[in-house]
Structure 1
């Protein structure tokens, strides 16, 4: 099956991949696109929605002590953060944008990613939030406890971003048990399915892309340059 290209901002390639894309394959493509954008080559920025086979990924701050049970392939990524899990039932969005053409503010970029995810979750009746001293997107379980429903990890090289975020629609939550997710052991991991929300990948993609304009506006150059 072929990837789907979406007609939104024409300066960006909006791509949805069917099936499962091997993590190493996606990482290699991100690396190539990131370098090409940084070099000023004639390529478009990229927003890429996809799903991976089960994999653990290690960020630049990963502590091997937090790799509890490496039952799946472990890939070093170059992004910030620690260990995380990707797998079926989790929707990943890679965001490769040239911040030289936008607001050159990495913190603003990350906060805008958080806002994009939180607003989309709200469209499905899930109240989510960011916590200043904890990486990721958080929500409340039925018992009121806080749990992570989305992960965020980015890399910015020569003002060009790569990696992005992942949201748990209906993954096998036991797979997170092989790591200490993002180095935070005190809190659990949840999903939309666990919260009683049945959301198909296509539904999530449609809702997320419907809010893409808000995200782009949030990272626009305030001086319009």
Structure 2
């Protein structure tokens, strides 16, 4: 995993990749790190990356969810359906050992872990005065336009847990080309749009988004 350490925290190790990492390379790097965590030869990590424009299929994806294969497609092995990754989107890969508790997240509780990822994104968005919300039966973090009665997704979540070690994680739309989402049915949910910090009038940089994620982490996962 080619990355630069972002903080001095012992756990998790924060990593930021400066280059756009192809999806297959990210999957291989995560798999190696997860094996190391399981074998106690590597520490936990949160890896912040951007990808070249790509579509990834989760374990619940269906062929009809891919509307236009204008970008490379990959089987990601995570939960969920089709997701877009690309420049301007911060993907955070979270690799933790769930055999122990993390802050408010109890040990060996996958549901609580996913809830914690949602809360992490919500608290990061709050730092930009954006109210991120959950929706029953719909994966991801949503932003409501109460005037027009509509809502759009700003953050996606997809995880995999292998013998109690987590990988994959969240994707936060900072300034991606939102038209790129048109090639898929994002997370299998039609009838709702996709948005970003910039589309909401928040001209945040990727570095500012990273700072918000790092600051919000301890509030949910501790340390």
TM-score (normalised: structure 1): 0.92
Which residue of structure 2 lines up, in the alignment, with residue 155 of structure 1? 160
Distance 2:100 2:116 in 1: 16
Which residue of structure 1 lines up, in the alignment, with residue 5 of structure 2? 5
Aligned length: 216
Distance 2:179 2:12 in 1: 36
Q: Pick which of 17-26 and 84-93 moved more.
A: 17-26
Distance 1:3 1:79 in 2: 22
What is the Cα deviation at residue 20 of structure 1? 1.0
Among residues 185, 188, 198, which one is paired with 1:193 in the alignment?
198
Question: What SS does structure 2 have at the residue aligned with 1:100?
Answer: coil
Which residue of structure 2 lines up, in the alignment, with residue 134 of structure 1? 138
Show CA shifts across 1:93-120 (max 9, x none). 0000000122210000000000010011
Give yes or no for the alignment of 1:42 onto 2:36: no
Show CA shifts across 1:74-100 (max 9, x none). 000110000000001101100000001
Structure 1: runs of 5 or more not aligned = 221-225
Question: What SS does structure 2 have at the residue aligned with 1:69?
Answer: coil
Question: What SS does structure 2 have at the residue aligned with 1:53?
Answer: coil
Among residues 117, 121, 143, which one is paired with 1:117 in the alignment?
121
TM-score (normalised: structure 2): 0.93
Distance 2:172 2:149 in 1: 20
Which residue of structure 2 lines up, in the alignment, with residue 223 of structure 1? none
Question: What SS does structure 2 have at the residue aligned with 1:26?
Answer: helix
Structure 2: runs of 5 or more not aligned = 102-106
Q: Pick which of 132-141 and 75-84 moved more.
A: 132-141
